[in-house]
Amino acid sequence: MNDQNAVLPAAVGPAPLEYVALSVELDGSYGSNRASGNRPQIAATNDIDAIKAWLARFHDTKTTFDNYRKEAERLLLWSTLQLGKALSSLTHEDLLMYQVFLENPQPAVRWVMRDGRKFARAHPEWRPFAGPLSSSSRRQAFIILNTLFSWLVNAGYLAGNPLSLSRQRSKKSNRRVTRFLEDRLWSEVKQTIEQMPKETDRHREHYFRMRWLFSLMYICGLRISEIVENSMGSFLRRQDKDGDNQWWLEILGKGGVLRIVPATSELMVELARYRREKGLSAAPIPGEETPLLLPIGDRRRQLTRGGLHAIIKKVFEQTAARVRMKGEDFQADADRIMAASAHWLRHTAATDMANGNVDLLFVRDNLGHSSISTTDIYLHAVDDERHAATEKNHKVNW
């Protein structure tokens, strides 16, 4: 690019990040939000190099790298081409405008792939968007961008995070968790799933999907949003210090925090069974875009949060109805199961781990209650120990 790029006609499309060359007025060398008087922790002197320094942390995980590059690239191109501002000059108000832009990127000839096609990044008809972004995609985009801005502030490149003024929930005092299923109630839920019909192919698909969903939520302690917004390509395999293979699930979670969760052998067995029922290979493929949970039938689309909540709630309702039939002494148990929601499974997983033999530090990292570093080689031994402890002591036990 040159100085004229900020005023390109609508018919001309932007270039991917690796081909962008901005003028000094737009490259962030003198961005109004650049940090001053601090000692920077990165060598970058312009926005593109700063983005590349941030992206370098994710080179070993292709899916994460591609998603993070996509969102940073889109914002950089919009900022320089559409707004005529350096990314390091963006304000909170600018990002509110960008949020509206994502709902319908216009002019489409500049921003959107034509005819729904997907062109290679080096192709002249490449565009940053396939179309308008859904609300969940816009939310994920801003989670990633918040991670970018926060990192650039910590690196001493930016003075402040323009997204830090976004609406935030007020902090509440910690209270003892009461919304979880005690062991006897969790056993009743599993029994409901085990009693599902298995006579036809469709029955079997329902059954194995339910086993996989409840195993995923219980063993990994995932949030509903994390199941909806991550894919099977997020599974990764690596060797521990003894050379044995371990499976992990990399999750982009709340607040844009990336964590890895032990995928125990029990979980991988359930995944293999579920994938075979869907006509997929037993093991997930790196970079695979298949959602963690699929609709019944041949469709490969992602389920909505509401749809996933409804699936889980139906199991609780069926369990409550069956327990209620046991008699008057079981009415309180039935009422408690009936009140349960999807998030109760996460609390149940955390409660069972914390009261079992899984170290509390491992529980914290499994649940994503605080950030962990996946790049620090000194944490690998701790990760191996965490995996072994979760593998040994935390099971569904169908």
Positions marked active-site: 223, 254, 343, 346, 369, 378
Comparing C-alpha atoms, which of 310, 323, 339, 312 is closest to residue 184? 323
Give the torsion through C-alpha atoms of 368, 370, 375, 376, to 10 deg: -130
Q: What share of the chain is helix, strand, coil (3-state, %, to 5)?
A: 55, 5, 40
CB atoms within 10 A of CB 115: 6
DSSP 250-308: EEE-GGG-EEEEEE-HHHHHHHHHHHHHTT--SS--TT---BSS--SSS--PPPPHHHH
Which helix (H) or strand (E) segment is 248 a member of? strand 245-252
Cβ density class 183-205: b for 16+ within 10 Å, e for less: eebbebbbebbeebeeeeeeeeb
Beta-bridge mates of residue 246: 238
Burial class of residue 216, CB neighbours in 10 A (0-12, 13-18, 19+)? buried
Are the CB atoms for 241 and 318 separated by under 8 Å? no
User: At CA 251, angle to CA 250 and CA 253, rounded to 5?
Assistant: 155
Considering only CA atoms, give the Rg of the chain. Answer: 24
Q: Could you write out the three-class secondary structure of 145-214? A: HHHHHHHHHHCCCECCCCCCCCCCCCCCCCCCCCCCCCHHHHHHHHHHHHCCCCCCHHHHHHHHHHHHHH
DSSP-derived pairing of the beta strands 258-263 and 235-239: unpaired
